[in-house]
Amino acid sequence: MDKKFDVIIVGTGAAGLYAALNFPESVNILLVSKRELQLSNSSLAQGGVACVLDTVHDSYKLHITDTLIAGKYKNTLSAVEKLVTEGPSDVLKIKDLGVDFDLNEDGTMCKTLEAGHSRNRIVHHKDSTGKAIVDGLIAKVTQLKNVTVCDNALVYAIDKVLNGFYISILRNGEKLHYGCNYCLLATGGIGRVYKYTTNSAIATGDGIAFAYMLGARIKNLSRIQFHPTAFAADHGRERFLISEAVRGEGAVLLNCNGERFASNYDSRGELAPRDVVS
């Protein structure tokens, strides 16, 4: 074994980076990135973050209701409640950490509308919110003395051992082996299993596979989020995302005859949830 850490975090999107920032400085952390730190699905996100910051015109109850409707009431209610009630404080925290959200003249955060939401509650940084969040968190994480970054590193095995885990990594042709008391999998989704995707090339479901092999129960694998609108390029699997925030600001969908059609299938038209628009 090359070294032992208290915690190893696999994945450097918003979840992995934010987790590293929330551990005490006494905790020794290894942060593993499959490619460069800046490449993740998080960094490709455009539209923004949904959170209730204006309790005069919006409410937690309304946000919860919108989320349940979009999820056809198959959501885990406790998870939705946690997301909605704790999310705003985390957004304000990453703002304090230096993430550059767009602001109104009075200093409040600009809020736009996205599909599935009945109120303007999407805070953003232009049309590259994910990159702004990831870049801001990277700037803070790389300043921490208790965090070691291992980038361009492929985790190829995770083994459960007494009092922790044993992580095997391939980096620059060299095999590395690290131990830890706790392992946090923040590896993102599986969009790359499809022929065309707005996900990055590294969204290959590694973390789900490792969790399964370690004994975790995997459920709802069929419920995969799609961004319905993407640029129809002539070549390549990765398609440039056209954010649904564009539709939130009034853009419409047209068929090959130049006719609007979304309202033929759902009364919410272009602002129906993603599964419907897809």
Active site (annotated) includes residue 274: yes
> Both tokens of residue 150?
């291992």
* CB contact at 8 A, 146 and 27: yes
Count of beta carbons in the 10 Å neighbourhood of residue 63: 24
Q: Could you tell me how many residues make up the chain?
A: 278
Between the alpha carbon of residue 80 and those of residues 51, 151, 235, the distances in Å are: 12, 33, 38
CB 135 within 8 A of CB 38: yes
Given the residues 35, 119, 239, 274, the one annotated as active site: 274
CA distance 152 to 37: 8
Distance CA(243)–CA(222), nearest Å, equals 23
DSSP letter string over 210-265? HHHHTTPPP--TT-----S-B---SS-SB--B--HHHHHTT---B-TTS-B-GGGT
Positions marked active-site: 274
